[in-house]
Amino acid sequence: MPAGGEWGHQLKWDGYRLLANVQNGQVGLFSRHMARMDEVYPEIAGALAGIGESCLLDGEAVVMDPRTGRPSFQLMQQRAGKMANRRDSSGKLPVQYIVFDVLEIGGEDWRGRPFIERHRRLERLAADWRSPLFTTELFEDGTRLWQWVQANGWEGVVSKRLSAPYRSGKNHRDWFKVKTAVVVEADIVGILRKEGRISSLVMSVNGQYAGRVSSGLDGKAKEWLAGLEQGSAYPPPFPKLPQSLKGTDVAWLRKPFRAEVTGREWTDEGLLRHPKIRLLRNRP
């Protein structure tokens, strides 16, 4: 995490990136791939239509977990899926829009201005906002914010160069993300193949299915895995085959081995989200 007076620090929100174009009360919401999202998030569009100024905003759509008080990517996925299939009539997954940048306001392009100016202008714009519209605070002390994030189980911190203009994409050095991680010792009990090639590994933690992992597997690791004693004659180690493994090409290992795996968090189904192999135990 960068330090010093040229940097500001904000919470990292665990949701879907969302651009909002507000022009004379008409609102267009767009995903990071520029898909229209107005009908997926009608409460955001409705709230933005009443803010009284034309602007282009950058932010994150999130669903807060009432049990933890933190953004939940799982609940966000559920909400997006329900709305895409026109099945959300319960209102149990309200979405909020956390705005962290302003790109244009009143027809004037603000992208070339320093981030700190854009942030202050956004604060003035958002002074009278109400739910589901929010902004995210800017902190000077990134270390203290990171300590709070770790203590309270949030996703991470985004550090931003205060003097930087707005830049599209990730190919720049003006924003840095630092994310928390879960570290587990998982038993690798099976090898998944796709078109005859090793594609991922099946994880078990405390005897329970914990998902599959492919990130972190390099060519040498796959060569070592291919030489392990394996065969479909060995039964699955789980009493009931997980639904996500049905119909797949799995070779169950006679002798499972350990791997150190990192992940974002545990899902409600007991799966490790965004797993990545850090170390394969017993690998030569």
CA–CA separation, 261 and 172 (whole Å): 29
- pLDDT score of 236: 85
CA–CA separation, 252 and 6 (whole Å): 53
- pLDDT score of 265: 83
Domains located in the chain, CATH noted:
13-135 (3.30.470.30), 182-280 (2.40.50.140)
Q: How far is CA 100 from CA 9, 59, 110, 145, in A?
A: 11, 5, 14, 17
| Residue at token pair 């840095």 | 176
CA–CA separation, 168 and 34 (whole Å): 13
CA–CA separation, 18 and 98 (whole Å): 9
Strand-strand pairing, 182-194 and 197-205: antiparallel
Quick one: which of 14, 6, 3 has its CA closest to 156? Answer: 14
- pLDDT score of 77: 83
Q: What is the 3-state secondary structure (H, E, C) of 213-227?
A: ECCCCCHHHHHHHHC
What does the buried/exposed string (b/e) look like for 83-118 if buried means 16 or more CB atoms within 10 Å of the residue's CB?
beeeebeeeebebbbbbbbbbbbeeeebeebebbeb
Residue 142 CA from chain centroid, whole number: 20
H helices of the chain, where?
A: 42-48, 73-84, 115-125, 142-152, 219-226
The per-residue pLDDT string of the chain (284 residues; one tens digit each, 9 = 90 and over) reads: 898 999 999 999 989 999 999 999 899 999 989 999 988 899 999 999 999 899 999 999 999 998 889 998 888 888 877 655 544 445 678 899 999 999 999 999 999 999 999 999 999 999 999 999 999 999 999 999 999 999 998 989 999 999 999 998 777 889 999 988 888 999 999 999 988 889 999 999 999 999 999 999 988 888 888 887 555 557 888 989 898 898 888 889 888 899 999 998 888 888 998 899 988 987 75
- pLDDT score of 166: 95
Strand-strand pairing, 55-62 and 197-205: unpaired
Full-model pTM: 0.76
- pLDDT score of 82: 61
Q: Look up residue 169 and give its DSSP letter.
A: S
- pLDDT score of 228: 77
192-248 pLDDT, tens digit each:
998 888 999 999 999 999 999 999 998 888 888 888 755 555 788 898 989 889 888
CA quadruple 49, 52, 58, 60: dihedral positive or negative? negative
- pLDDT score of 5: 93
What tokens does 64 get?
């807060």
> Are 182 and 30 in contact, with CB atoms under 8 Å apart?
no
What tokens does 248 get?
């797949």
CA–CA separation, 267 and 273 (whole Å): 7
- pLDDT score of 181: 85
53-63 pLDDT, tens digit each:
999 999 999 99
- pLDDT score of 93: 84
CA–CA separation, 65 and 73 (whole Å): 9
- pLDDT score of 226: 84
